[in-house]
Structure 1
Amino acid sequence: MITFNETPPKGTVRDWLDQQAEARGERIAYRFTDGAADLSWANLRDIARARAQGLTALGMAKGESLAVMMPNGRAALETLFAGLYGGFRVTMINLAAGNDAITYAFEHCEARFACVGAEQQAQFAATCPDGLRPMPDDLDLDAQVPLHPLSSGDDALLMYTSGTTGRPKGVVHSHSSLLAGGWTTARAHALSEHDCGYCVLPICHINGLCVSVMGCLISGGQLLLAPKFSNSRFWSDIEAGSVTWFSVVPTIISHVLHSTQDPSDAAKAKLRFGRSASSALAPEVQTAFETRFGVPIVETMGMTETAAQMLSNPLAPATRKIGSPGIAIGNQVTILRSDLSEASHNEQGEIAIRGPNVMKEYLKNPDETRASFTPDGWLRSGDLGHKDEEGYVFVTGRLKELIIKGGENIAPREVDEALYAHADVVEAAAFAQPCTTYGERVVAAVTLCAGSSVTAPDLIDICTRRLGAFKAPDTVYILEDLPKGPSGKIQRKKLADMMSST
């Protein structure tokens, strides 16, 4: 029987899928809310092997990019594992990235073949460069050809960052770091073969792929995969799937909190915890969610470059600190001063990580790769924060998102949390706008729950009382929706650009 412990997983995704298939056979591994048939470990291994052999017979070389342009579902999952099993560099295309970014990813990764979903055919036609063609319908699934030999350091995954400050960067993960991404999750949350996760985040994003899909592969449990998040189906899916944990983002937690639906006792019967990642979770939202639903939320933090998780709050009875994404589990995290020396406890600096889950490189970008690491191997996250005496990290914001008003640094998160203190605020994001007096001024945008009568002056007043007049926003825009990336993370830069053009 496969087990995992404090040692990072060895081998390749092929090795782990083979071992899980041998150990667990016809036990169900992945289930789907859209009605697709379940996948057992043995079934998934057989499908992955047959398709990997078909791709090899097609002439695909080891480490060659295989583009995947598909939504969450059984077909996407089978394609992901087929590519990993065959030794190809699976290149997940962000369906919400926009045509320019998708075309860039296609060209940059130099893929010759793309696996395209039925509903993505038109978008593929609009973004497909010369030399890239869809996977043939007649792929030989009976090809008896030897697969490429694999080792843990070989390329496994290519995933592009959002590119909010320039061209998207192609993050390359090896089999080793990809497996370690699932392992850090499984270890932090004590996942076992008896657990069933619930994935509503896109697996073209690192959270859905590593936390949920790879976490299931490492733990040998089950995963219930939804096409996307649905507020109306959230609790019913959890009940029907006997879900024990879920991984979402703060905006989803807030939307569930502000819905009129409550989970049944059956839905909560096996649910151990919910997991929050991708951006900071406001303490007021976390506390309100836990109070209303009786479900603990474990706040975490991760990056595409770290195969998702780099920090996590531990489970009870260990200490869980509200407002912190937790401690390093399975890797090391430190705080760096501007001269790259290690900061003292409670001293603010840049959060940096070192461990088995850290990326291999940025594809075809050695300068950016070198610049992202310190000389002694720490990956610089670009996030500001401090670490307390017990090792818990507190994040204050992104270096590139700081609002510099009159020479003083204001972290947007401070303003976000003040806005979330009002019970009617569903989404909130503060950002900078140019100012002739102070250089930059504080501005924010929110969405409100249905029927709310709260006004912008009301929200400014709350921020003034909590933060002082200097940090309070000059303007609060009340919008129907805030721009978000594929994982549900609010995009401040896009919001700032939208508001500057109004």
Structure 2
Amino acid sequence: MKLSTASPPEGTVRDWLNARADAGGTAITLPETGQELSWAELRATAAETAADLTSQGIEKGESIAVVHPNGLQGVKALYAALYGGFRVTMINLAAGPDAIGYALDHSGARVAFVHKAQIEMFNAARPERMSLYAPTGGSAALHDLRANDDALLMYTSGTTGRPKGVVHTHSSLLAGGWTVSKAHHLTPDDRAFGVLPFYHINGLCVSVMGSLVSGGSLAMVSRFSASQFWDQAEKGGITWFSVVPTIISHLLHGEADPSDALKSRLRFGRSASSALAVETQNAFQKRFGISIVETMGLTETAAQCLSNPLDPAQQKIGSPGYGIGNDGRIADEKGQLCAVGEEGEIQIRGPNVMKEYLKNPEATRETFIGDWLRTGDLGRIDADGFIFVTGRLKELIIKGGENIAPREIDEALYEHGDVVEAAAFARPNPEYGERVEAAVRLSEGSSATADDLLALCIARVGKFKAPDHVHLMDELPKGPSGKIQRLYLNELLYGKG
């Protein structure tokens, strides 16, 4: 099959990995250890493991869990599952024990690739049917594979509190890498910097799939480090990077600077996952002399759905851009287009849009108007077609690019017997974009403290999702039906300023 990035990718990940392996070159390099993996080596290990999984009776399209941080073993597991025609299920290691257990169970997976550091957590969270992958040396003919077959299952928080399983096909997964390649003019000479976890849609589709589709390579590190970022970028030989606003802020306020050699090689940096403050972008570009391209993406759109042009002279700071490789519009809840400057919902249509929410046809139906995906984000469009995000229809809290469902925090708080009312909400935060706070009404005479409730949340949902502060209140604001109005809590507790 001839590979082309002039139009949405045809074929499957197996086809593209075969073509990259035949062409040769480096696929992955690890600046922290100096290890490298060629496309040919990646194909060989993927094919061998896929054949072994097939011989063990894993069916086409069946979920296979990958419980790994960034690293060669995790990437090998990812490609093995995709190569074999299985539905790779990426487990968010920062999600907290409840969400991880739910994802493992809901996915239906019987087999998991698990990093040694995650074995204890996995054993505590896994359903009885699930076991660690154990190589047998077996081999069987691989399942036939088509572009519209399931490829990826990734869980994202929803307003119901339970994560939703986003299903992408080979076609939409590859399109996620293609929209990035198209928007940023990526070529086989480019090397991405993978600092974001590849169990997040940004790290997976932008960095990993972007490198596969463009034919370039990826320098991957285990985690972001502000003090080592520029040095690792230098060692990795990168030409571009994709990060979130929190990382840009950390780098801006850090002491380290990129070398002149690195700056001359770096074509651009890329920001996504939440809005990048205008002041932060301007200050970063002024200090480092590196152009930042602001974008917008969703798990449901295989990451990127809006992007600014690569040319800084054509960008509009404060906007995540417009659809490149897919279509973006502003419309109402019935799908009627809004006028220029009028606020409405941001909706997306294109080859990178998900297939469905796993086992949730109702949520799938509610998310689409025809073939347009409802993002739940509010925005307006200007005369040049640039979209500006103004808010969210959904009540998700976005902390450091991660979606957190308020109800998940509510339910943890309600586990305390003295909690009568509870509502988590987003509080603006310059470092993370938003932070989690919660308001609670306790039963009369309760001796529970805010610290007690914080400890409960940490135990149930993990430190990252737990509130930074719990407000104890006599009464929480409610609407006519008695429903708690969490969107009023910021104003009630902090005023309009």
Q: Which runs of 5 or more structure 2 residues have no equivalent in the other structure?
A: 398-424, 441-457, 474-497
Identity of aligned residues (%): 55
Whether the 8 Å contact between 1:191 and 1:219 is mirrored in structure 2 is yes
Per-residue deviation at 1:316?
A: 1.1
Structure 1 residues 428 and 302: alpha-carbon distance in aligned structure 2, compared to 1, 3 A threshold? closer
1:22 equivalent in alignment to 2:17: no
1:272 equivalent in alignment to 2:267: yes
Which residue, 368, 379, 390 being the options, matches 1:396? 390
Per-residue deviation at 1:227?
A: 0.6
**What SS class does the counterpart of residue 470 from structure 2 fall into?**
helix
The residue aligned with 1:162 is 157
Amino acid paired to 1:4 = S
1:297 equivalent in alignment to 2:292: yes
Number of aligned residue pairs: 427
Map residues 428-467 of structure 1 onto 2, 5 A cutoff: 428-429=433-434
**What SS class does the counterpart of residue 274 from structure 2 fall into?**
coil
Whether the 8 Å contact between 1:36 and 1:74 is mirrored in structure 2 is no
1:350 equivalent in alignment to 2:321: no
Which residue, 175, 197, 202 being the options, matches 1:180? 175
Amino acid paired to 2:470 = M
CA distance in 2, matches of 1:186, 1:97: 29
The residue aligned with 2:410 is none
Whether the 8 Å contact between 2:435 and 2:467 is mirrored in structure 1 is no
Per-residue deviation at 1:6?
A: 3.5
Amino acid paired to 1:174 = T
CA distance in 1, matches of 2:158, 2:98: 11
1:380 equivalent in alignment to 2:374: yes
Whether the 8 Å contact between 2:181 and 2:210 is mirrored in structure 1 is yes
Whether the 8 Å contact between 2:227 and 2:255 is mirrored in structure 1 is no
Map residues 461-476 of structure 1 onto 2, 5 A cutoff: none
The residue aligned with 2:202 is 207
Per-residue deviation at 1:206?
A: 0.4
Per-residue deviation at 1:240?
A: 1.2
Map residues 237-252 of structure 1 onto 2, 5 A cutoff: 237-252=232-247
The residue aligned with 2:278 is 283
Per-residue deviation at 1:264?
A: 1.2
Whether the 8 Å contact between 1:28 and 1:40 is mirrored in structure 2 is yes
CA distance in 1, matches of 2:243, 2:287: 18
Measured against aligned partners, the alpha-carbon deviations of 1:265-311 in whole angstroms (never above 9, x if no partner) come to: 12212101100000000000000000000001000000000000000
Structure 1 residues 402 and 75: alpha-carbon distance in aligned structure 2, compared to 1, 3 A threshold? closer
Q: With structure 1 as the length reference, what TM-score do the two structures score?
A: 0.81
CA distance in 2, matches of 1:111, 1:159: 13
Amino acid paired to 1:139 = T
**What SS class does the counterpart of residue 240 from structure 1 fall into?**
helix
RMSD: 2.5
Amino acid paired to 1:296 = S
Per-residue deviation at 1:60?
A: 0.5
CA distance in 2, matches of 1:125, 1:183: 37
Which residue, 68, 78, 81 being the options, matches 1:80? 78
* Runs of 4+ displaced beyond 2 Å: 1-6, 162-165, 400-403, 426-435, 498-502
Structure 1 residues 162 and 133: alpha-carbon distance in aligned structure 2, compared to 1, 3 A threshold? same
Which residue, 129, 133, 136 being the options, matches 1:139? 136
CA distance in 2, matches of 1:189, 1:232: 27
Structure 1 residues 434 and 500: alpha-carbon distance in aligned structure 2, compared to 1, 3 A threshold? closer
Whether the 8 Å contact between 1:65 and 1:110 is mirrored in structure 2 is yes
The residue aligned with 1:38 is 36
Map residues 412-423 of structure 1 onto 2, 5 A cutoff: 416=428
The residue aligned with 2:106 is 108
The residue aligned with 1:423 is none
Which residue, 314, 320, 323 being the options, matches 1:319? 314
Which residue, 113, 120, 123 being the options, matches 1:122? 120
CA distance in 1, matches of 2:472, 2:87: 40
CA distance in 2, matches of 1:240, 1:354: 39
CA distance in 2, matches of 1:243, 1:329: 23
**What SS class does the counterpart of residue 400 from structure 1 fall into?**
coil
**What SS class does the counterpart of residue 232 from structure 1 fall into?**
coil
Structure 1 residues 2 and 217: alpha-carbon distance in aligned structure 2, compared to 1, 3 A threshold? farther
Per-residue deviation at 1:402?
A: 9.7
**What SS class does the counterpart of residue 269 from structure 1 fall into?**
helix
CA distance in 1, matches of 2:396, 2:359: 30
Per-residue deviation at 1:144?
A: 4.0
Amino acid paired to 2:7 = T
The residue aligned with 2:326 is 331
Structure 1 residues 69 and 5: alpha-carbon distance in aligned structure 2, compared to 1, 3 A threshold? closer
Per-residue deviation at 1:30?
A: 0.8
Per-residue deviation at 1:164?
A: 5.7
Per-residue deviation at 1:428?
A: 4.9
CA distance in 2, matches of 1:269, 1:54: 45
**What SS class does the counterpart of residue 344 from structure 1 fall into?**
coil
Q: Which runs of 5 or more structure 1 residues have no equivalent in the other structure?
A: 404-411, 421-425, 436-482
CA distance in 2, matches of 1:428, 1:152: 37
Structure 1 residues 97 and 322: alpha-carbon distance in aligned structure 2, compared to 1, 3 A threshold? same
